[in-house]
Amino acid sequence: MTVFTERHLLRCYPGGLRVMSDNYDPSPAWSVGAQMAALNFQANDKPTWLNRGKFAANGGCGFIRKPRYLIDPSVPAPAGPSRALYVTIVAGSGWDNFKDADLFDAPDTYIRVTVAGNMNDSASHTTSTFNDHVRTGPRAQPYFNETFEFQIVEPELALLMFTAYDMDTTSQHDFLAQHCIPVSLLRDGVRILPLYDEEGKYVGGEKQPSACLVVMMKYK
């Protein structure tokens, strides 16, 4: 398929049987060099978040140049991990926005860190669960200080996604917020990542501080 996309345009789109307007994972399409990966934007699901994160690399204009090895057959594709990425989830802030996420208590918050965007780098880690049984104020802000390692094979295609959830023991875990960014844009050091809702809007407003994650990135 990569040989085909070197000289031809390839458009992928959700199958006609997806009557609920859900989406497929666009990572395989991007991995083989597909020029267009169409999605149902009304779904506001994980594939949509990945798509927003991917095109943030070029200001959200809708176009990103493919890696050289997906265009020029003389350039070999990466054969193994090119670098190790260490991600430390330090803490969260602005969790007062989620005070009503759980009916009976403060949210049982955990963070899932995922590398996606291509087939070679797919991996995921999850933090422990935080709950100080306080809905607002300083004690409501979660802290983790947990570090995860990812071996990155294709940094030009890889995306790093953070998703915050409220753990529920009797039903599906409740989604709180997300942030997705291309691995190619990451820099070493401590970063404050704004969190977005399912529709890609900032969590927070005039009456509440914006929700964010404090993370530390390190390449080796």
CB 90 within 8 A of CB 143: yes
- What pLDDT score does 18 carry? 79
pLDDT of residue 58 exceeding 90: no
Q: Which two tokens stand for residue 213?
A: 């994650």
pLDDT of residue 84: 93
CA distances for 192 relative to 47, 63, 75, 92, 211, angstroms:
23, 26, 36, 9, 10
Q: What's the whole-model pTM score?
A: 0.91
pLDDT surpasses 90 at 197: yes
For residue 207, pLDDT over 80 is answered with no
Cα–Cα distance, 148 to 165 (Å, whole number):
18
Average pLDDT for 183-207 = 91
User: So what's the pLDDT on residue 156?
Assistant: 92
Instruction: Note the pLDDT of residue 117.
Output: 84
- What angle is formed at CA 118 by the lines to CA 215 and CA 51, rounded to 5 degrees? 70
- b/e 43-77 (16+ beta carbons within 10 angstroms → b): bbbbbbbbbbbbeebeeeeeebebbebbeeeeeee
DSSP 5: H
For residue 173, pLDDT over 80 is answered with yes
In this prediction, what percent of the chain has a pLDDT beyond 90?
Answer: 61
* pLDDT of 164: 97
Query: Which has the closest alpha carbon to 97: 191, 195, 173?
Result: 195
Pairing of strands 36-37, 11-12: parallel
Q: What does pLDDT average to over the chain?
A: 91
pLDDT at position 174 is 93
Q: Which of 89, 59, 76, 78 has the alpha carbon at shortest distance from 182?
A: 59
Query: By CB neighbour count within 10 A (0-12 exposed, 13-18 middle, 19+ buried), where does 130 fall?
Result: buried
Averaged over 73-99, what is the pLDDT?
A: 91
Structure confidence at residue 90 (pLDDT): 97
